[in-house]
Structure 1
Amino acid sequence: MCRSIKTLREPYTSDVTDDDVRAAALQYVRKISGFRAPSARNAEAFERAVAAVTAATRALLDDLELRRTGRDAAAS
């Protein structure tokens, strides 16, 4: 669906910033809504959706428990 949204978890990427999370959320909301830039009357709803998806994405990334690789487990 949103092929250009990159995976935001290790080992695919490290040091995910808030900007990375928001950019992914923005792409998702653009895809779902069909708007690249919403009209003035839809801007508030669009921004609320981006904020909600950003928060949900950050919560997901923070809550994921990743299986440790042999190298990571040996370092602990």
Structure 2
Amino acid sequence: MCRSIKTLRPPAMPEEATEADVRAAALQYVRKVSGFRAPAAHNQEVFDRAVEAVAQATAELLEGLEVRGARKAG
């Protein structure tokens, strides 16, 4: 039904995760949990809200993680 969600933090991902990376992971998660690749029109709004909520939570998680031993950019 959907591909695996990839790890979005170092060292598995050498570059910082982009907004597109976070949104793609959120979409894959919501698809998996809901069982819908593309929801019916009557479920689209709640599906989209779920994707946004998961993307926001993911972004907050990635911003707050401290990965010991990872190199800092810059």
Q: TM-score, normalised by structure 1?
A: 0.85
Structure 1: gaps (5+ residues) = none
Higher percent of residues as helix: 1
- Tell me how large the CA RMSD over aligned residues is: 1.8
Aligned length: 70
Higher Rg: 1
Identity rate of aligned residues, in percent?
63
Moved over 4 A (4+): none
CA distance in 2, matches of 1:36, 1:3: 11
Bigger RCO of structures 1 and 2 (CA < 8 A, at least 6 apart): 2
1:4-23 equivalence runs, <5 A: 4-13=4-13, 14-23=15-24
Q: TM-score, normalised by structure 2?
A: 0.87
Structure 2: gaps (5+ residues) = none
